Amino acid sequence: MGKVLVIAEKPSVARDIAGVLGCRQKGEGYLYGDTHIVSWAIGHLVSLYEPEDYDDTLKRWRLETLPIIPADMKLKVLPKTKKQFGVLKGLLNDRDVDSLICATDSGREGELIFRYIYRLCGCKKPFQRLWISSMTEEAIREGFARLRPGRDYDSLYESARCRSEADWLVGMNATRAFTVKHGVLLSVGRVQTPTLAILAARQREIDAFVPRDYYEVQNDYGDFKGVWYDKDIQQTKIFEKERADGIAARVMGQSGTVFKVVREQKSQPFPQLYDLTELQRDANRYLGFSAQKTLTAAQSLYEKHKLITYPRTDSRYLSTDLIPELKPVLKTLDIEPYSGYVGGLFSMSHLPTGPRLVNNAKVKDHHAIIPTRRIPNFSQLPNEERRVYDLIARRFIAAFYPPYEYELAQIHTVIMDETFISRGTAIKALGWKELYKDSKTDGGSDEQPLPPCSEGDGVTALQAEVLKKKTAPPKPYTEAGLLSAMENAGRFVEEEELKEQLKDSGLGTPATRAAIIERLLKVGYIVRKGKTLIPTQKGMNLIDVVPDELKSPETTGKWEKALNHIARGAMEPEKFMAGITRYVNYLVQEAAKGKPGTVFEKDKAKSSGTKAQAKTSAQPEARTQAKARGQSNIQSKADAQAQTKAAGGEPLGKCPLCSGGSITANSKGYGCSNFRNGCRFFIGEISGKKLTPVQVRTLLAKGKTGVLKGFKSAKGIPFGGRLILQNGKIHIEREEQSDGKD
């Protein structure tokens, strides 16, 4: 009887499996024992052909050769891992090997790694699938006891293959098409471009925002404070200083009455267990970690230290078969700093396992991330891994705690016919927040409790103070916020039916979102500024020139939903790929048309027909793609500063009046380069507002702007509106006013 070949995704995982199977003898690139051989990939050993692998003439980037749509997508060995591929090929075709076990990561990408190797080696031997959620010895043994036929995962492989080929077709063709058309290297991708569009849309909101002063009047009653509000529109903002001063002067030292007291008892259940995206969000919020840093730490906790279950999961629930594991895991956590929190749980005859925690219908490939039974040695854990483990451990313990209970209170007072409101929070029972009382994570409210009070009680304004404030622009995305936006792509869709369909789809997957963010940073489309992510001018320009379908989260959300259907066997792969082919043809046509008015800063190296042409998108977006040489200089200052000045007379678009000149900035505004020949097109101050270069570029390219603030009427009253460009003339389409609301 021959041996069984087990193929893992990484050498470290292979060694763990080999230890369980008793494979202690070493070969070149594998371990073996009496019945099994254990070898490994090193991530991806195999990739899709590059265009020039099909035809050498495709090395040169030209619009005439696009779209490139191979009839059969071929595979090749990656040069850096050619040696290990040779080892696997020899083992797969060894006569002494009767059957195989796929032990790559239990997910879509892991399935693709094994199947591509299997396919390129031309292997036909039967194989089984090891599917586990923990790398502990117990979990590996249990996994081998319930191996499943490889064919059970054929649909998962088809989903992975379609994703890989779709990324190649869209990325390769769109990148070449837009790069050649605009003369600068423009990396475009199925997921990265709509992700960039989300950041660009927020930046445009920030750029268009004009801050506005407002005032609040605050009374001090001695044991609590109240803020004036307009009872008709329920707003505390006052936009006229004279009015605020008048209210403060009128109520100062005056007595009034409590006319309404509202007290609400609230209960907040424990936060659900972590999936990868939620873990990355919290690590960014509370630890300042990037999504990639969190993923790296979690992967190490899973593979190397075996302290947590499979981290690349999209579920926040446990399945019923894990209920017997819960108390043993809690016993593992009966150590400092958690022993004070878990001790009381052991006295329970049954741990609470309601549907917020255990729900089979919400567990697909993997359950939520939880600690394993292995006791951590914190002195041996690197700082980043220890802090990520702490998040996971506390979240797991909190799942067995009672709700956080508190009281929300409001006291409404009236003095001299002016109304004031006071708000406060009183904690009744910390519940699960007991675990976070000494940290910023999930801490309680900053509001103080209000004193006992009843309707009809008297109050006196001991002090009345006018507080000057400013309306705030939308905040730039942090990584935590962007991860949420990527996960919930459906919220950017207006059509209600489609929004509902996209609830379970998003941009990328939990396993790939960190890499997408890193990719945008790498190609110079965004920069980090503290905890925030800011699009560069190059990134903003790209979003201006690509068609709506390419930057729409709706498109990618639909695709991700289709890929999920393929994985469940509910959709034919051929139907999906036919749609991708039609889409690629459309993208190339749109790129060839071009869009006037958007000018890219040239890269240091020419982007067409030279070695600077990067091999883009041949690998999945989630993997590190080939380096794009000669990237444009990333802005080192905030875009908000850069956008207040024109880049040395850089053309902002074609002149809409004479069509022969270009619009550039000068000391007085924006004029046509053809002015010496009589063109009189000029954009100066419009109703008291000076436009930024970005706003002018948008106006020239689209014929209109979004809603801009900062215009003033002849009487000096501020208003907002859109600029409309028609027949070389600009007029304002005023925005409807909203009773002083900002």
Phi-psi region of 563 (alpha: psi -120 to 50; beta: other; left: phi over 0): alpha
Per residue, the 3-state secondary structure of 371-403, as one string, reads: ECCCCCCHHHCCHHHHHHHHHHHHHHHHCCCCC
392 closest CA partner among 415, 420, 371: 371
Angle 372-374-380 from CA coordinates, rounded to 5°: 120
With contact defined as beta carbons under 8 Å apart, do 429 and 402 qualify?
yes
Give the three-state DSSP class for 181. Answer: helix
Q: What one-character-per-residue DSSP string does 49-80 give? A: PPHHHH-GGGGS--GGG-----SS--EEE-GG
Give the three-state DSSP class for 677. Answer: helix
CA distances from 501 to 408, 481, 555, 562 (A): 36, 22, 12, 11
Phi-psi region of 131 (alpha: psi -120 to 50; beta: other; left: phi over 0): beta
The backbone torsions φ and ψ at residue 243, rounded to the nearest 5 degrees and listed phi first, read: -65, -45
Number of Cβ within 10 Å of residue 407's Cβ equals 15
Dihedral, 354, 356, 358, 361 alpha carbons, nearest 10? 120
The backbone torsions φ and ψ at residue 366, rounded to the nearest 5 degrees and listed phi first, read: -145, 150
279 closest CA partner among 395, 400, 443, 432: 395
CA distance 506 to 495: 16
CA distances from 380 to 80, 143, 203, 338 (A): 32, 28, 43, 18
Strand duo 3-8 + 36-40: pairing: parallel
538 closest CA partner among 54, 255, 190, 203: 203
Cβ-Cβ contacts under 8 Å for 132 (sequence gap 6 or more): 106, 139, 140, 142, 143, 310
Q: Do you find a cis peptide bond into 328, omega within 30 degrees of 0? A: no
Q: Is 153 a catalytic residue?
A: no
CA distances from 200 to 205, 548, 556, 654 (A): 9, 13, 17, 23
The backbone torsions φ and ψ at residue 178, rounded to the nearest 5 degrees and listed phi first, read: -75, -30
The backbone torsions φ and ψ at residue 263, rounded to the nearest 5 degrees and listed phi first, read: -130, 125
12 closest CA partner among 305, 298, 296, 297: 305
Helix 192-208 and helix 537-545, axial crossing angle in degrees, nearest 10: 110
Count Cβ atoms within 10 A of the Cβ of residue 382 and give its class: 0-12 exposed, 13-18 middle, 19 or more buried: exposed
Give the three-state DSSP class for 658. Answer: coil
Catalytic residue, candidates 310, 389, 406, 583: 310
Cα 85 from chain centroid?
34
With contact defined as beta carbons under 8 Å apart, do 561 and 504 qualify?
yes
DSSP 601: P
Angle 269-273-279 from CA coordinates, rounded to 5°: 120
With contact defined as beta carbons under 8 Å apart, do 172 and 618 qualify?
yes
Q: Which amino acid is at 153?
A: Y
Q: Which amino acid is at 69?
A: I
Q: Listing from the earlier edge strand, what are the strands of the sheet with 3-8? A: 25-27, 30-32, 36-40, 3-8, 97-103, 127-129, 148-149
Active site residues: 310
